[in-house]
Amino acid sequence: MNIVVCVKQIPDPAAPQSFDASNNLDRSGKLILDEADTYGVEMALQLVDKAGGGEVTVVSMGSASDVAGIRNALAMGAAKAVIVSDEALRGSDALATLAELLQLPSITFAKSVEIDGTTLKVERQTESGYDEVTAPLPCVVSVTAGVVEPRYASFKGIMAAKSKPLQTLSVSELGLDGQVGAAGAGQAIVEVVAAEARQSGEKFVDEGDGADKIVAFLESIKVL
């Protein structure tokens, strides 16, 4: 069982974020592996383990100068990584249309994934609960955050990751000249404006009267 996991590196969400002069997200700071992607990596590692063979490859798009996040996926246990990196990709919209382009079935929002021979069995989240969905392999699956416990990279894993293959491809090597980046994005940002700020109201330190203050507030807005 071989599995490809699409991951991305993002600016640390805990750090302040801003746009650059051309309204692209400023990615000049430290990049980390998007936490949501670690669930996909973990799910893939578990499925490969269960199948008793095969490997996990991570694929990413973005700058190849800071790959700490990609190395983290390798340290978790992925065998190799491919990064599509090119200045021409700046302003490119993520092609989240993989399944259609590959002409494969897809199951999004998976909260559990099982493989039964050549059939994939997935519990897929719905507005009111979940559906059991099946599809033949190969299939494109997106995994919901929080459904598995992503492993921490072990010291051994971190050391091993340093020598795992990490291949960088440019847009020309993929044969996509002129189809990507802001020119191929099909949309343009007109402007970025400040949202109407919500004013904060009153703040009290609870001195045993916090609940009373809430009740009085609920009365004032006629909820009680």
- Does 201 bind other proteins (CB under 8 A)? Our answer is yes
Contact pick of 2, 28, 97, 172 for other proteins (by CB under 8 A): 97
Buried b vs exposed e over 102-114: b needs ≥16 C-beta within 10 Å?
eeebebebbbebe
Among 32, 55, 109, 169, interactor with other proteins by CB under 8 A? 109
Minimum CB–partner distance for residue 29 and other proteins (Å): 14
- C-alpha 85/C-alpha 82 separation (Å) is 9
Confirm or reject binding of residue 215 to other proteins (CB under 8 A).
yes
Q: Which of 70, 73, 76, 107 binds other proteins (CB under 8 A)?
A: 107
Mention every residue, 6+ apart, whose C-beta is less than 8 A from residue 58: 4, 5, 6, 7, 41, 70, 73, 74, 78, 80, 81, 82
Give the span between the Cα atoms of 140 and 5, in whole angstroms: 10
Instruction: Give whichever of 159 and 174 is closer to other proteins, judged by the CB atom.
Output: 174
* CB nearer other proteins, residue 119 or residue 168: 119
| Minimum CB distance to other proteins smaller for 46 or for 108 | 108
CA 67 – CA 70 distance, rounded (Å): 5
Tokens of 61: 């798009």
Residue 93 interacts with other proteins (CB under 8 A): yes or no: yes
H or E element in which residue 160 lies: helix 155-161
Please give the Cα distance from 43 to 110 (Å, whole number).
10
Q: How far is the CB of 197 from other proteins (least distance, A)?
A: 8
**Contact status: 118 vs other proteins (CB under 8 A):** no
- Among the residue ranges 40-48, 64-72, 156-164, 182-190, the one whose residues contact other proteins (CB under 8 A): 182-190
Task: Identify whether the C-beta of residue 164 lies closer than 8 Å to the C-beta of residue 74.
Answer: yes
Under rule CB under 8 A, which residues in 134-153 are in contact with other proteins? 134-136, 139, 144-146
Asked whether 137 and 54 are in contact (CB, 8 A), the reply is no
- By CB under 8 A, is residue 223 in contact with other proteins? yes
Among 2, 28, 126, 168, binds other proteins (CB under 8 A): 126
Q: Is 121 exposed, middle or buried (0-12, 13-18, 19+ CB in 10 A)?
A: middle
Judged by CB under 8 A, the chain residues 50 through 89 that form the site for other proteins are none
Enumerate binding residues for other proteins (CB under 8 A): 13, 17, 23, 36, 93, 95-97, 99-101, 103-109, 111, 124-136, 139, 144-146, 185-195, 197-198, 200-206, 208, 210-215, 217-218, 221, 223-224
